[in-house]
Structure 1
Amino acid sequence: METVLASAVFRKPFSPVHNREQQLDELGVKLADSIRKILANARDKLYTGEEQVGKIEPHRILKNKTLELNNLKSRTNAATKAVINKARIQLTAQANRLAALNPKSVLQRGYSITTNKKTGLLVRNLEDVKIEDLLITELAGENLIESRVTKK
């Protein structure tokens, strides 16, 4: 039991969740930088285009480029939201899986965990105990029962 509880998953059960949160934050920063670069590039193209088209109906071309820039901005915002939502869903799924793996959640479903008091090892079958061994049975709510093996 101590070996199980000493594992990294039980010492820091939300470490994978925090790692995912960090990855999500890093993705958000990278995505924001990419969006800024895309928008800056689009603005540069717009200004370059203005010079070239200044002689041919500049108002119409400017209107088209502005619409194009707004469309690009909307698409990048939608893509950003989609990436963040997907990462949030994955993070929630991992948190749920982690909670389901917690031995304490098994106790809440009506099961118990029995260990040998002397060795601290889990009792999985009849061969794990001897007559006169003391056993500790853990129930939900951290309730404990101590019992002695009298018959096998």
Structure 2
Amino acid sequence: MISVSSVAKSFSLTVQFGCHTALLPSRPQIRRWAKAAADTSAQVTVRFVDTNEGRKLNCEFRGRDYATNVLSFPYETDPVVGDLVLCVPVVLREAREQHKPAAAHFAHMIVHGMLHLQGYDHEAGKREAQRMEEKEREILVRFGIADPY
């Protein structure tokens, strides 16, 4: 008889709201999206910020003086330990410009950030970008979210 043992992955999520709008996803939505993108156990904080905080963090940690949609701060990769920072005005603007529901774009950014926490890097070359985008599509389709690209 073959015995297969599986270790259940643990998942811990903290959500922080540095800004508020009615269009923010609920904690259960955030949890489902982030957990679906976690290949291993994870301890993650997701923080929603305004443009000022987003710009400050992007400038301080990436040397880029503008607010971006999502920043990922990985501390460990197995288990995954890290922070995601989503700049709400940027995510909402991009959703409008791309004619997407806000929830779908928030889901994409959370999945995208979670993959970064696990070592995926779309800036490491075309092959890595394709690998990451395919993984994002694979996860998002489970939630009925269309190809974000």
Q: TM-score range by the shorter chain?
A: under 0.3
Q: What TM-score does the superposition give when structure 2 sets the normalisation length? A: 0.22
- Structure with the bigger percentage of strand: 2
In terms of fraction of residues, the more helix-rich structure is 1
Per the normalisation by structure 1, the TM-score is 0.22
Rg larger in structure: 1
